[in-house]
Homo-oligomer: A and B are copies of this chain.
Amino acid sequence: MIPWISKAKDDDVAVSSRIRLARNLKDEFFPSIMDDLAGDRVYNKVKGMFDTVDNYSFIKMKDVDPVEKHAMVERHIMSRELENSKSGGIAKLDNESVVIMINEEDHLRIQSITPGLEIEQAFGVIMDIHEPVKSQFAYDDQFGYLTACPTNAGTGMRASAMLHIPGIIMTGQLPNISNTIAKMGMTVRGIYGEGSDAVGNMVQLSNQITLGLNERDIVDNLKSVASKLIANERNARRLILETKASQVEDQVMRSFGVLKYARRLSSKETISMLSDIKMGISMGLITGIEHNELHSLMMDTAPCQLQHTLGKELIESERDIIRADMVKKALSNTKEA
């Protein structure tokens, strides 16, 4: 089970929340233009900065095999971009609730992740990490913290929430809602970042603007818009139950039956059917499993994370059989309500 995932308020819709800060060291070039020597120097400076603070473990990307890298992407603790960074690496706490990417687009991407909509807690953690070391970062009185990409300048902060919104998607409200959210300086996108699909009816809500707002405002805006989306989603689910109950119940229960009995499950259909199960729990159709357990299962059954857990490389057909077995076990205590 993914260590940082636990039961949380609003987790019928909000899977997780995160804050990340983009920071760069003074007197060093940005990663995109620095040479390998500089990259290693930055890595070591960051290591020195956090080595004594808490129980961080440091890993250099070049020492990580490709499956493990992809597994970390699937767990949402690092970006695809970091995978190929020569001097890149990460520092992370054991439970992976705090992860610092080193030499991704910026020297540091410090992120704190929490379950549900506990963005306030993530914010607190980030501020505590940042405070003692902030004097070492490139800062400009006019532009704030300096970042490789100007869109991150200012606070360098992104607050985001991963939301499960099958109701909003089914009722066709997503395009309108996305437009409204865009006008508020925020954005809704697929869970693997810009341009990715809403896999498993999951989207990531985040602030688009980092300049001209202070950190407090960003967090408050995120909380406010996320809360509205959560309310929208619950309304949409109610509406669906009122207007096309039998059709949606059928879809949910078929997914339930297939997940319980299939002998092979692809990752794509698994995430999609687990999305149905999640909605089914909210709708009172299925009992015996908590939302956070489902969130874990969604990540645990991702192709590389599954291989990471088993400690060996597997071909797709082998993974499909093991995935079906994992899902069956995870759902063994569930039943039709």
Tell me the A residues contacting B by CB distance below 8 Å.
246-247, 249-250, 253-254, 256-264, 317, 321, 324, 336
A250-B324, A256-B257, A257-B260 known, 8 other contacts, Cβ within 8 Å = A253-B261, A253-B263, A254-B257, A254-B258, A257-B257, A257-B258, A257-B261, A258-B258
What is the bound-complex CA distance between A246 and B261, given in angstroms? 12
What is the bound-complex CA distance between A258 and B252, given in angstroms? 10
Residues of B within 8 A of A324 (CB): 250
What is the bound-complex CA distance between A254 and B259, given in angstroms? 8
A247 closest partner in B (C-beta) = B264
Copies of this protein in the complex: 2
What is the bound-complex CA distance between A256 and B256, given in angstroms? 11
Most buried by B among A263, A317, A324: A263
**Residue contact B262 to A321, C-beta cutoff 8 Å:** no
Residues of B within 8 A of A256 (CB): 257, 261
Closest 5 CB pairs of A and B: A257-B257, A257-B261, A250-B263, A253-B261, A250-B264
**Residue contact B262 to A253, C-beta cutoff 8 Å:** yes
Residues of B within 8 A of A263 (CB): 246, 249-250, 253
Residues A336 and B257 in contact in the complex (CB < 8 Å), given A246-B321, A321-B246: no
Residues of B within 8 A of A264 (CB): 246-247, 250
Residues of B within 8 A of A321 (CB): 246
Residues of B within 8 A of A259 (CB): 257
A250 closest partner in B (C-beta) = B263
Residues of B within 8 A of A336 (CB): 261
22 A–B contacts from the bound complex (CB under 8 Å): A246-B263, A246-B264, A246-B317, A246-B321, A249-B263, A250-B263, A250-B264, A253-B261, A253-B262, A253-B263, A254-B257, A254-B258, A254-B262, A256-B261, A257-B257, A257-B258, A257-B259, A257-B260, A257-B261, A257-B262, A258-B258, A261-B336
Residues of B within 8 A of A246 (CB): 263-264, 317, 321
Residues of B within 8 A of A254 (CB): 257-258, 261-262
What is the bound-complex CA distance between A258 and B257, given in angstroms? 5
A324 closest partner in B (C-beta) = B250
Residues of B within 8 A of A257 (CB): 254, 256-262
Whole-angstrom distance from the CB of A185 to the nearest CB of chain B?
Answer: 43
Whole-angstrom distance from the CB of A272 to the nearest CB of chain B?
Answer: 14
Residues of B within 8 A of A262 (CB): 250, 253-254, 257
What is the bound-complex CA distance between A260 and B336, given in angstroms? 10
Most buried by B among A247, A259, A260: A260
What is the bound-complex CA distance between A257 and B264, given in angstroms? 13
A255 closest partner in B (C-beta) = B261
Whole-angstrom distance from the CB of A316 to the nearest CB of chain B?
Answer: 13
What is the bound-complex CA distance between A317 and B258, given in angstroms? 22
What is the bound-complex CA distance between A247 and B264, given in angstroms? 8
What is the bound-complex CA distance between A256 and B264, given in angstroms? 14
A259 closest partner in B (C-beta) = B257
What is the bound-complex CA distance between A259 and B249, given in angstroms? 14
